[in-house]
Structure 1
Amino acid sequence: MSRDIDVLVLGGAGVDTIVHVPELPLPYADSYLIDSGVRTRAGQTGDFVALGLTALGLRTHHLDFLGDDPEGDLVRALHEDRGIALTAVPQPAGTKRAVNLVGPDGRRLSLYDTSRAHPDDRFPLDTLRTLAATSRHAHVSVTHPCAHALPALRETGVTLSTDLHNWDGENPYHEPFAHTADVVLLSTTALADPERTMRHLVERGRAEVVVATAGAEGAYLLADGELTHVPPATPPAPVVDSNGAGDAFAAAFLYGRLAGEPPHRCAEYGAVAGAYACTVPSTEADAIGTADLLARASRRSQSSQRSANRPLL
């Protein structure tokens, strides 16, 4: 069967309203004056992964629920402008949305509106199976109702990845994703023992590779039973917002994996892309391109090699 799609991205379409605040956590006050403005733009986790993959030249298709509302129009416009194929299932409850409070150091606090879904929402099986059967890989967001799509995706034989984000290692909601995917990404933010959680994912699921991103500390890669540290990449400009860094890491990691690169090289790509994403203002949607990614990764590799060859004093 022809594989016309490189990556099918499932779920995670929506809009964010960005509010720059003087500090996080934000002290209680009756009101704050926001000189930078309060701005709404398209782009949640699935949108940003799809954007990153497309910027790296991969044929990408995004499937999710969208409302017939102004927020849905923003999401549709983003995909049309960036040349990302989109299949939007009608959502009467409206398009998913969130509010991101962004501090001066680029950290964020996200408030997700969970009312934009129904418990019985399901992707049309025929649509899901057709898209998956013509895809080389599928990246599944941990948004409703993606968990219900996992069995059908597995039946098609497509390889799967997921990003558990700030999972604490215990919340049962994440387990279907964690135990079904071939590649699992997550953040160390809420993990008491990252290595223990990563090894449990391999033991209990079918993951071949687990990556735990750790912000400014880099990331940790578990592959072939070996845990290694991936140093952070140097951002090419001042850090202004960490929103979307994990999605950029995921997109670049998958780019490397689909190109046949070894896991550590894929993680190096992810580190470079994540650092780049931190330099993009939260009110914009942008991603690193292939030439820039490969050039920065090459310079990073050469620098690491020179350091390894430097004689000890």
Structure 2
Amino acid sequence: MSAENDVLVLGGAGVDTVVHVPELPLPFADSYLIRPGITTRAGQTGDFLALGLHALGLRVHHLDLLGDDPEGTLVRALHAEHGIPLTAIPQPAGTKRAVNLVDPLGRRLSLYDDTRAAPEDRLPEPVVRELARASRHTHVSISHPCAFALPLLREVGVTLSTDLHDWDGVNPYHEPFAHAADVVFVSAARLTDPEAVLRRVAERGRASVLVATAGADGAHLLADGELHHIPTVTPPAPVVDSNGAGDAFAAAFLFAWLAGEPALRAAHFGAVAGAHACTVPATTHAPITREQLLERAGDDRTGTTARGHEKEE
């Protein structure tokens, strides 16, 4: 029997307030006049991944804790607008939120509100089990409640992926996610030796595919013990914002990987999607479509979905 969903996305729902600043780091001053201004919109890592996968034609379900607040309303509305199923567990502390400072080069500094979480936060085990069993794959955000779901997900037997974001390779908080996943994504921004970190995770965990994205330097792919360099792809338009590029990379990689593509091919798909994301302002939601991805990746299989079947008209 086929699964109801292609990907279950755990965690990473929230709201960002995007503030455009003249430069980063921002020099101290009493005040600044900024354009194009300040925008608050739904969309954090789990939301962006769900949107990216959905735009590529995958069946996605998103599960996270949300508050009964204006931010939670924005997140619910975003999913409803795009037709992405969302299971929202009540969060008394409120919906996660952050402020993103974005400079003219598209670089980002994120300030996360750490008050909208509590040590006792959990995703209900029966809900996690039911949704995981109904899915081909689960992507796990590195938020606190998701860590407690990892043993259950491994028990269910679904394949897992995770994004460690700007991990330094040392912080023990990230290790349960890194060691439980079959596919690991991480930013190389704080890694002095990306290859060493990838190989250490592979040795201690179960991942056979690991990717360290490196922005303008491309990405490092460790697959079946062999390290590859993934070159960057020329963006189709001027770069305006790097926000969401890592999530776009992961979505396109998983799209190809779930279709049975080799890791090198999947990483190229990721590079194409990441380049596209850098051309999209942080205040909008415009992930790369399946047709755009296949065309720009040099793939003429436009009748194929990530499930390996012919597209239904």
Aligned residue for 1:117?
117
Q: 3-state SS of the aligned residue for 2:232? A: coil
Aligned residue for 1:56?
56
Give CA deviations for 1:62-112 in whole Å, capped at 9, x if unaligned. 000000011001000110111111000000110000000000000000000
Matches within 5 A, 1:148-227: 148-227=148-227
Aligned residue for 1:80?
80
Aligned residue for 2:247?
247
Matches within 5 A, 1:1-313: 2-298=2-298
> How many Å separate the matches in 2 of 1:172 and 1:66?
26
How far residue 2 of structure 1 moved from its aligned partner, in angstroms, is: 4.1
RMSD, aligned α-carbons: 1.0
How far residue 180 of structure 1 moved from its aligned partner, in angstroms, is: 0.4
How far residue 144 of structure 1 moved from its aligned partner, in angstroms, is: 1.9
Give CA deviations for 1:90-135 in whole Å, capped at 9, x if unaligned. 0011000000000000000000011111101111111000000011
Give the structure with the larger helix fraction: 1
TM-score of the aligned structures, taking structure 1 as reference length: 0.95
Q: 3-state SS of the aligned residue for 1:249? A: helix
Percentage of identical aligned residues:
72
How far residue 35 of structure 1 moved from its aligned partner, in angstroms, is: 2.7
| Paired letter, 1:272 | V
> How many Å separate the matches in 2 of 1:135 and 1:154?
13
Equivalent residues of 1:11, 1:144 under 8 A apart: no
Q: 3-state SS of the aligned residue for 1:203? A: helix
Query: Alignment length, in residue pairs?
Result: 300
> How many Å separate the matches in 1 of 2:286 and 2:71?
19
TM-score of the aligned structures, taking structure 2 as reference length: 0.95
Give CA deviations for 1:266-312 in whole Å, capped at 9, x if unaligned. 0000000000000000111120011110000007xxxxxxxxxxxxx
> How many Å separate the matches in 2 of 1:63 and 1:2?
21
For structure 2, which runs of at least 5 residues remain unmatched after alignment? 300-313
How far residue 154 of structure 1 moved from its aligned partner, in angstroms, is: 0.7
Give CA deviations for 1:159-184 in whole Å, capped at 9, x if unaligned. 00000010000001100000000000
How far residue 36 of structure 1 moved from its aligned partner, in angstroms, is: 1.4
> How many Å separate the matches in 1 of 2:231 and 2:143?
29
